[in-house]
Amino acid sequence: MRKNNRKIMMAGAAVAAVFSIATIAAGEPKSGYLSAEPETQAMQDDDFSNPAMLVTDYGGDLWSTADGDSGKSCEDCHGDAADSMKGVKTRYPTYYQPWGKMINLELRINECRKDNQKAKAWKYESKEMLGMASYIGYQSRGMPMAVDIGGKATPFFTKGKEFYYERRGQLDMACSHCHEDNSGNMIRANLLTEGQINGFPTYRLKWSGVGTLHRRFKGCNDQVRAIPYERGSDEYVNLELYLAWRGRGLAVETPSVRN
Amino acid sequence: MASAKPRVKVPASAAKGEIIEIKSLISHTMESGQRKDKEGKAIPRKIINKFIVTFNGKEFFSADWAPAISANPFLSFHMRAEESGTMGFTWIDDDGSKYTAEKNLKVT
Amino acid sequence: MIEETKMKLKETPKEISRRHVIMLVGAAAATAGMLPRVSLADKAATDAAIKAIGGDGAEMSGITLDLPQIAENGSTVSVGVEVDSPMTADNYVKTVYIFAEGNPNPDVCTLHFTPAGGIARAYTRIRLAKTQNVIALAEMSDGSFKRETVEVKVTIGGCGG
């Protein structure tokens, strides 16, 4: 006998999906969570079921481990991450004076490692970076995304927005063709979502692991046979700023689970 | 493998006779032996093949895993709480490594 | 799937995006053909495994096998199993075997229960290479067997064991 509560749950998800299409028109952003299968949602709902929490835990271990020439841990300077890092994720990418441009959380972590901890930068997609970015993001869980696009951030925001609507690749498609015009429609076996970024780093079933937002950007560029940019590149950080603003108000879900 | 760090959930306390749910999760690629690398060479199988759970030293649940268990294996199961004590978890890798975890349970 | 895509896309008013999405579907289908072929187990291999355990005459009831009808990704399919049993010292579930008929190897996992568990229920996550039947076979303490089969449609296959 197959348990039939699943069908009810499925029906619930279908209603949620329809609801999301209906409200896009009204301009309110919808998290990719709403389009996920109930089993995938359940994985994210329970921290003891969410495999990304293994990576997040690892980030927590690193937080309190001394490293670099300073001989200090992140905790030695920042104290309890639950206080000092709460809300940090919601305001990144942010304008970074020393660079005269935007910086995202991953790059900010590395800046702090180099400048303050006197330690070697982590590779962008390394286990360490995924752990720390997940751990810091996790401290903002449930808080609304709220990047600042005013002042010095404005020109970078404009660049990110242009990137989003620009056609590229052999298929000559922009992000907006899939995630705005067709969100709610099927593409192959995938239900297209709005492509929101509130859950990153995310555990993707396809990756069988956790990955950064910029890894996802590369994948979405590949899909239209476009040449992807480097993770951490200015192009991707500006794009991230635009998307963070586009999804403003969405609750941070880091670390989320997606197909 | 240093990254194979488990996460287990056991309620801190339970009433005598209550059936409690236990959840376990461990970081592991569970390399199936079916995949090929970029050069087309088969990637050798490397999985956790056995999971054993004890309470106060006595085994009460175990599982044998084949390569069809997903990466970062998750397993939830149950125990009837009869006495306070320590639950022990052991995962055994194909290469012989053992990963362990422990949790205390108070029965009231 | 492609039919479904076209059908759904008809509802969108945006001519350009429709054309592009369909092109993309074509490109994706072309890459799918390049995936390595693996030999898959079949019903016969699974039946043989069940027979070897002694479960070929199993009663077809008493098990709840909880799987999604459609799995969005074969790399990670949630499966729950529960066997009706009082779980007392003289009447309990000893072992539950899970098989996947369409994987390269039908074995998925074997769960060993004891009366101390109180209930014979477990949840795990498994790999399914394609749409197929998943079978749970339970061996009871008196030597009898129960069996349940559920079909799961897999939209994206996971390179299962």
Count structural domains, chain C: 2
Q: Is the pLDDT of residue A187 over 50?
A: yes
Range with the lowest mean pLDDT among A185-189, B51-55, B93-97, C65-69?
A185-189
Instruction: Say whether pLDDT at A215 is over 60.
Output: yes
**Among chain A residues, CA nearest to C17:** A177
B84 neighbors B105 (Cβ within 8 angstroms): yes
**DSSP single-letter state for residue A65:** S
**Nearest-neighbour CA in chain B from C9: distance (Å):** 33
Indicate the angle between helix axes A213-223 and A234-246, nearest 10 degrees: 100
Question: Are the Cβ atoms of B71 and C108 closer than 8 angstroms?
Answer: no
**What is the chain A residue with the closest CA to C136?**
A1
In-domain check, residue C116: yes
To test the contact with chain C by mutation, choose from A172, A188, A192, A224 the residue with the greatest count of C C-beta atoms within 10 A, namely: A188
Residue C144 lies in a domain: yes
Task: Write out chain C residues lying below 8 Å of B61, CB-based.
Answer: 111-114, 116-117
* Residue B2 Cα, gap to closest chain C Cα (Å): 23
3 state SS of A5: helix
Distances A238 to A119, A161, A164 between C-alpha atoms, Å: 27, 8, 10
- Which pLDDT belongs to residue C33? 35
Looking at the predicted structure, is the pLDDT value of residue A4 above 70?
no
Asked if C117's CB is within 8 angstroms of B68's CB, the reply is no
In this complex, which of B3, B25, B26 lies closest to A58 when CB atoms are compared? B3
Whether pLDDT at A132 is above 80: yes
Q: Which residue has the tokens 């794009």?
A: A239
**Is C159 a domain residue?**
no
Task: Give residue ranges of B with CB < 8 Å to any A CB.
Answer: 3, 5, 7-9, 23, 25-27, 29, 70-72, 74, 76
Nearest residue, CB atoms, B74 vs list A49, A55, A61: A49
Q: Is residue C25 part of a domain?
A: yes
C-chain residues near B62 (CB < 8 A): 111-112
Residues C87 and C131 in one domain: yes
**Count of CB atoms situated within 10 Å of the CB of C34:** 6
- Structure pTM? 0.88
Angle value at C-alpha C54, between C53 and C55, nearest 5 degrees: 95
Q: In whole angstroms, what is the distance from residue A204 CA to residue C156 CA?
A: 13
C24 and C54 share one domain: no
DSSP letter assigned to residue A33: G
Which pLDDT score is estimated for A127?
96
In order, the DSSP letters of chain C are: -HHHHHHHHHT---HHHHHHHHHHHHHHHHHHTTSPP-----HHHHHHHHHHHT-TT-BS-SEEEE--SEES-TTSEEEEEEE----BTTB-EEEEEEEETTSSSSEEEEEE--GGGSSEEEEEEE--SSSEEEEEEEEETTS-EEEEEEEEEESS-----
pLDDT band at A188 (very low <50, low <70, confident <90, very high): confident
Residues of A in contact with C8 (CB under 8 A): 185-186
* Chain C residue numbers touching B35 (CB-CB < 8 A): 159
Report the candidate in C109, C158, C98, A202 with the shortest Cα–Cα distance to residue B71.
Answer: C158
The alpha-carbon gap from A50 to the nearest alpha carbon of chain B, in Å, equals: 8
Q: Is the pLDDT of residue A117 over 80?
A: yes
- Is residue C149 within 8 A of residue C123, CB to CB? The reply is no
- CA angle, C122 as apex, A259 and A3 as ends, to 5°? 70
Confidence of residue B24 (pLDDT cuts 50, 70, 90): very high
Q: Where are the domains of chain B?
A: 5-32+43-107
User: Crossing angle for the helix pair A154-165 and A234-246, nearest 10 degrees?
Assistant: 90
Task: Answer whether A173 sits within 8 Å of C77, measured CB to CB.
Answer: no
Query: Does any CB of chain B come closer than 8 Å to the CB of residue C117?
Result: yes
Q: How far apart are CA A212 and CA A201, in angstroms?
A: 5
Q: What percent of chain A has pLDDT over 70?
A: 90
- A208: nearest CA in chain C? C75
- Asked if residue A135 lies in contact with residue A80, where contact means CB atoms within 8 angstroms, the answer is no
Local confidence pLDDT in tens for the 161 residues of chain C: 333 333 333 333 333 344 444 444 444 433 333 344 456 778 889 999 999 999 998 999 999 999 999 998 999 999 999 999 999 999 999 999 999 999 999 999 999 999 999 999 999 999 999 999 999 999 999 999 999 999 999 987 765 43
Contacts of C among chains (3+ CB pairs under 8 A): A, B
- The ipTM of this complex is 0.94
Is C138 found in the same domain as C79? yes
Catalytic residues of A: 220
Same domain, C47 and C27: no
Instruction: Output the pLDDT for position B3.
Output: 55
> Whose CA is closest to C116, among C96, C93, C138?
C93
Interface touch C160/B68, C-beta < 8 Å: yes
B7, B70, B76: residue with CB nearest A54: B7
What are the backbone dihedrals phi and psi of residue A248, each rounded to the nearest 5 degrees, phi first? Answer: -55, 140
Architecture of domain B5-32+43-107: Sandwich (2.60)
Which amino acid type is present at position A3?
K
Look at residue C152 in the predicted model and tell me its pLDDT. Answer: 96
List the domains of chain A with CATH numbers.
3-18+32-258 (1.10.760.10)
- Same domain flag for C24 and C87: no
| B15 Cα distance to chain centroid | 24
Of B55, B70, B74, the CB nearest to C75: B70
- Domain shared by C144 and C96, yes or no: yes
Q: Supply the pLDDT for residue A133.
A: 98
Contact A178 C23 (CB under 8 A): no
Residues of chain B positioned with their CB less than 8 A from the CB of C123: 74-76
Looking at the structure, do residues C25 and C83 belong to the same domain, yes or no?
Answer: no
| Closest residue on chain C to B37 (Cα) | C36
Please tell me which of the candidates A48, A61, A208 has its beta carbon nearest to residue B25.
A48
Contact yes or no for C68/C152 (Cβ under 8 A): yes
CB of C76 closer than 8 Å to CB of C63: no
- Judge whether C52 lies within some domain: yes
Q: Are residue C141 and residue C68 in the same domain, yes or no?
A: yes
What's the CATH number where C96 sits? Answer: 2.60.40.2470
Residue A27: count of CB within 10 angstroms of its CB: 6
- What residues make up the domain containing C17? 2-34
* C160 occurs within a structural domain: no
Whether B16 has its CB under 8 Å from any CB of chain C: the answer is no
C58, part of any domain:
yes
Interaxial angle between packed helices A127-138 and A105-112, expressed in degrees from 0 to 180 and rounded to the nearest 10: 110
